Amino acid sequence: MTAQDAIDRGTQAPPLRDFLDGARLCLPVIVSSAPFGILFGALAVDNGFSVFDATLMSATVFAGASQMVGLELFGQKVAPWLIILSIFAVNFRHVLYSASLGRRIGAWPKWQQAVGFFFLTDPQYAESEKRAEAGREVGFIWYLGLALPLYLCWVIEAALGASFGKLIPDPHALGLDFLLPIYFLGMVMDFRHRPLWGPIVLTSGVASMLAFVFVGSPWHVGLGALAGIALAAVVAPVKPQPPEEGGR
């Protein structure tokens, strides 16, 4: 072991501390997503699911938007390919998330990467990017600390909603479903120091609203993201190339 290895090992946070650091960041997400988890369970039962089916879907799919779209399309006379395409449109942003996150977790073993991509959500991606940009390692234990509490609570909330959701006549009347958009807005604001943040966010938001009006849901999610990406690709500053040796 070299002296530098000893220093790195001595300054590395213990696994438990890493896990708790991730879990601490997860608490706001758990609170803001709870109404949606409960609402999904209640709606699933209303659409003919059993409590077990609703809980199993949350445990295996673990994607709130996709689960909601599935509920709207399952049981209707809709072609299976259209259901798959609709869910792909909703989760198209995860293609971009995976490409970006892959740079941060490339050193993980393959099985850890597979686990990491299963737990990939909007907050998971945002917090991982923030940590990496701050110069800190996106470690597997920290990542699990951020992911596991949210996952377990999401599954439990679906079970509670499926079991007792009928006791709440109108979940939207409580206004709790507004908590998650507020949290997402806070995440977006965390990246406001990036170059061209304002124009890209504005373009993506306007494009998403126009797509919602003229194309419909769930396509507005992917189309809004593509509009922001297109603007970023067009106006991104070009890094100057270092001069070649010999003055060429």
Quick: pLDDT tens for 161-206. 999 877 766 655 665 556 556 656 766 776 677 777 788 888 888 9
| Both tokens assigned to 34 | 């709870």
In degrees to the nearest 10, what's the CA dihedral of 181, 35, 131, 186? Answer: 20
pLDDT digits (tens, 9 = 90+) for 213-237: 888 766 777 778 788 878 877 876 6
Contact 46, 169 (CB under 8 A): no
Q: Rounded to an integer, what distance in angstroms lies between the CA atom of residue 123 and that of residue 213?
A: 27
Nearest to 190 by CA among 136, 133, 229: 133
Higher pLDDT, 243 or 43: 43
Q: What does the buried/exposed string (b/e) look like for 57-80 if buried means 16 or more CB atoms within 10 Å of the residue's CB?
A: bbeeebbbbbbbbbbebeeeeeee
pTM: 0.70
Q: DSSP character for 171?
A: G
CB atoms inside a 10 Å sphere around CB 22: 25
As a whole number, the mean pLDDT across the chain is 80
- Where are the strands (E) in 37-193, listed by range? none
CB atoms inside a 10 Å sphere around CB 161: 28
Domain boundaries, the chain: 12-191, 193-236
| Both tokens assigned to 234 | 């067009």
